Amino acid sequence: MSATKPEAPAQSATADREIVISRVIDAPRELVFEAFTEVRHLSRWWGPEGFTTTTRSFEFRVGGEWDFVLHGPDGTDYQEWILWTEIVPPERIALLHGEVRGDPNAFESLLTFATEAGATRIEMRTVFPTKELRDEAVEKFSAIEGGRQTLSHLAAYVTEILGQGAQG
């Protein structure tokens, strides 16, 4: 169905409403990809430490959905809904991520998996419908994170960034 959806336009057109996260995972690409394909895997790592998920339904195919609740360590529940729009093992996964089916504020993420010196580089490019929705998502996830933040964690985290900056 939506597997042949056209790519997002040139980067410059979406730069102010996208977020790109890139990360090297120390395992073979097939295995990293596999960790996205089944609930028994996803439930072991989705969300920061202390978060858990309860899955209502899950179907890993183009057009299939993952309907679940994300539980924060402070007891807050978040409704989550994911629609897989493209699946190319073990190279890429495109998905639509919202709170409920048909969420008008849902945003697209494209995950690519590349082999890099025996490890795997994941790049997650998320494009929000508007800049406002991007900022809203940043705020929402800050709030999710805020449920368990302590100032000392915050200090350690940010000074780590500062440390890298100062050395670089």
Sites of contact with another protein (CB under 8 A): 19, 21, 23, 25-28, 31-32, 34-35, 41, 44-49, 122, 124, 126, 137-146, 151-152, 154-155, 157-159, 161-163, 165-166
Least Å distance, CB 162 to another protein, is 5
CA dihedral for 39, 41, 47, 51, sign (positive or negative): positive
Least Å distance, CB 59 to another protein, is 21
CB closer to another protein out of 2 and 130: 130
CB closer to another protein out of 114 and 124: 124
- Strand-strand pairing, 52-58 and 65-71: antiparallel
Helices (H), the chain: 11-14, 29-34, 39-45, 131-146, 151-167
The answer to whether the beta carbons of residues 99 and 107 sit under 8 Å apart is: no
CB closer to another protein out of 85 and 126: 126
The answer to whether the beta carbons of residues 112 and 92 sit under 8 Å apart is: yes
Task: Provide the 8-state DSSP code for 48.
Answer: S
CB closer to another protein out of 104 and 165: 165
Task: Provide the 8-state DSSP code for 16.
Answer: G
Least Å distance, CB 4 to another protein, is 27
Least Å distance, CB 83 to another protein, is 18
Least Å distance, CB 68 to another protein, is 14
Sequence-distant (6+) residues with CB within 8 A of 122 are 22, 23, 24, 25, 32, 111, 112, 113
CB closer to another protein out of 59 and 139: 139
